[in-house]
Amino acid sequence: MSDATEANGTVGAAEDLSGAGADGRHVRVVLVDDHRMFRTGVQAEIGQTAETGVEVVGEAADVDQAVAVITATRPEVVLLDVHLPGGGGVEVLRRCAALTADAERPVRFLALSVSDAAEDVIGVIRGGARGYVTKTITGADLIDSIFRVQEGDAVFSPRLAGFVLDAFASTDAPPVDEDLDRLTQREREVLRLIARGYAYKEIAKQLFISVKTVESHVSAVLRKLQLSNRHELTRWATARRLV
> What pLDDT is attached to residue 164?
66
> What pLDDT is attached to residue 177?
60
> What pLDDT is attached to residue 1?
42
> What pLDDT is attached to residue 116?
82
> What pLDDT is attached to residue 21?
64
Residues 214/221, Cβ–Cβ less than 8 Å? no
Residues 47/99, Cβ–Cβ less than 8 Å? no
Residues 242/195, Cβ–Cβ less than 8 Å? yes
How confident is the prediction along the chain (243 residues), in pLDDT tens digits per residue? 444 444 444 444 344 444 466 678 899 999 999 999 999 999 999 988 889 999 999 999 999 999 999 999 999 999 999 988 888 899 999 999 999 988 889 999 999 998 888 788 888 888 899 999 999 899 999 999 999 999 999 898 877 776 666 666 554 544 556 677 788 878 888 888 888 888 999 888 888 889 999 999 999 999 988 889 888 888 888 777 676
Nearest to 155 by CA among 186, 129, 181: 129
pTM of the model: 0.65
Nearest to 69 by CA among 95, 36, 35: 95
